[in-house]
Chains A and B, each alone.
Chain A
Amino acid sequence: MPRSTLTRDLLFAVGGLVLLVVLPLVFPGKAFSDFVIRLSAFAIYATSLNLLIGYGGMVSFGHGLFYGLGAYSFALLMQKMGTSIPLAFALTILVNGAVAAVIGAICIRLKEIYFSFLTLAFQMLLHSLIIAWTAVTGGDQGLTGGVPRPPFLGIRLDEPRHLYLFCCAVLVISLFLMRHLVQSPFGYTLRMIRDNPRRAEFLGIPVWRVRLLAFVAAGIFGGVGGMLISLFVSSAYPDFAYWTVSGEGVFMILLGGMKVFLGPLVGAAILLVLNDTVTRLTEHYSLVLGIVILVFALGLRSGLLGLVADLWTKRAARSWRIAQTPAQARTERQ
């Protein structure tokens, strides 16, 4: 397996960013840029959830908590405190990190399904809090009055093109950072814990601490996704913290593939396209989504990008075998 190097990932990131900058020249419509902005929020969120599910083996059913928390803390900081955007971003990261540390410290003590349910419980707690604390959150109406977008460093996020570029940059940077995390020795320690936590313990790995760190990282990036969406819709709604958001995160991972780093990004794109096209055609969106998920769960376990990656490696292996002489192939097999 080729080793992923920092340089390769950097080139990939820069290439991705350039592509995102150029694409609006081909698709100049607002529909496209809006799609990319929503995609950036969901892709960061889904990838952050995959840090837990795909790399850590911790299936969280409550990751939407951090999406909602990010959206609300960012929007509230901007609206009520009048902070600048970079400061609100930084503070929201701190808030999300701190909340993830506390909730994670409680949840990761539990195994498997109990972990899943406890994360879900915490999410519903936040949702109830948002609904109940009307004075601050606006209750079930969501935050009214809009999120101000004061300019900073020459960036004016009230201008659609600036907002688009900003979201693209945050997307690429976030994905790059998460990619780095999973390719670091820490990321491999996390994989070891996913595969066999007991063995990891007997190799001296502080399993609990590594899991907690992964949980905090996922909580922070989940919040970054929430911040982007609140910037985009200029508000925050209780729905952002509802359990369906967690479910959508899991669906995105399932659709794109959890074993490939960019799987959740592809999954987010699939889910958004499905959402946009199907709701236009029929009101039975859930039915269509259900069928699609069923097809993936039954026949395409590795997800769309996972399938592509599998085919790619098989093809590479085949062409390698053809290039060999039979004698070489024999020694290879031995």
Chain B
Amino acid sequence: MLSVEHLSKSFGGVAAMSDVSLKFEQGSLTAVIGPNGAGKTTFFNLITGAFRPDAGRILLGTENIAGLRAPEIVRRGIGRAFQIASIFPSLTVREAILGAVNAYRLWYAKLARRFPLAEAGSQADEVMELVGLDARAATLSGNLSHGDQKLLDIALALALEPQVLLLDEPTAGMGPEERWQMIDTVHQLWQRKPMTLIFIEHDMDIVFKYAQSIRVLSYGKVLAEGSPDDVRRNPHVIEAYLGTRFEGKPA
């Protein structure tokens, strides 16, 4: 289980995150929503060690991982993909995923042997199949379409077999049809792999269709949390975030 307690972070006097406490059940599928600048990405950055929190604890199981560096947190089983696909443009899809599989394991084998390590092959193939990039295995990552680059970014994180996977707007910059395809793929991943999946999403139709539970952030604070129905009915949420959109609809 992943939980954060009293997490705070400010940048030059501006509080990006103040006293946030949240829990994410093992194996759950949770959406993090909130208006622009609510601190959603900051939240991910704090959990993954991109920023060091000013105060608070981040518990993965029973271990407090707050203050650890990014690679150390990754090794404890928290993977992430980025809002803007973060990939390795000059490697082929397969090379990149194989590289990710090898990323930090087998440190000493890395010098004595050849790339790719035979034992990494089946895992890489499985990951490519999971996200549906198997047909693109030999394509240079930099030549992939935007959607495929986003998939590759997720595949890289998956290659490490994370316990917790954080996806920062998996559907960002996509057309309507592509969005649903993407979120379908993500949903299938979550069903097939035993992991806690947390995603940031702006499209409320997607959020309410797929998320088991929702966390709403606003101005760096938790505005609401709970099941989609709870959140939908929450007056604060309606006022602060969903107001115009859900106006006139029965709550």
Q: Is A299 an interface residue (CB 8 A)?
A: no
Contacts of A206 in B (CB 8 A): 71, 104
- Give per-residue flags for B229-250: 1 if the beta carbon is below 8 A from chain A beta carbons, else 0: 0000000000000000000000
Complex CA–CA separation, A183 to B115 (angstroms) = 6
Bound CA span A202–B160, Å? 10
CA distance A156 to B72 in the complex (A): 53
Question: Bound complex: CA of A313 vs CA of B99, how far in Å?
Answer: 24
B103 within 8 A of A: yes
- Which of the 9-residue segments B26-34, B84-92, B182-190, B199-207 touches chain A? B84-92
B66 within 8 A of A: no
CB-defined contacts of B98 to chain A, threshold 8 Å: 188
- A321 → chain B closest CB, angstroms: 16
Q: Is A263 an interface residue (CB 8 A)?
A: no
Residues of the B chain whose Cβ atoms lie less than 8 Å from the Cβ of A191: 88, 90-91, 99
A141 at the A/B interface (Cβ < 8 Å)?
no
A103 is an interface residue with CB less than 8 A from chain B: no
Which A-chain residue is minimally distant from B89 (CB atoms)? Answer: A195
Chain A minimum-CB-distance residue to B85: A199
> Interface extent on A, as a size class?
20 to 34
A207: chain B residues at CB < 8 Å are 71
Question: Do A188 and B112 touch (CB < 8 A)?
Answer: no
Bound: A189/B113 CA distance, A: 13
How many Å from the CB of A332 to the closest CB on chain B? Answer: 11
A31 within 8 A of B: no
* Residues of chain B within 8 A of A184, CB atoms compared: 110-115
The answer to whether B74 and A192 have CB atoms under 8 Å apart is no
Tell me whether A203 and B104 are in contact in the complex, defined as CB-CB below 8 angstroms, given that A191-B91, A195-B88, A196-B88 are known contacts: yes
0 or 1 for each of B105-140: is its CB under 8 Å from A? (1 = yes): 010011111111100000000000000000000100
Known: A184-B110, A191-B99. 9 other contacts (CB 8 A): A185-B113, A188-B91, A192-B88, A192-B91, A192-B103, A202-B74, A204-B72, A204-B75, A204-B104
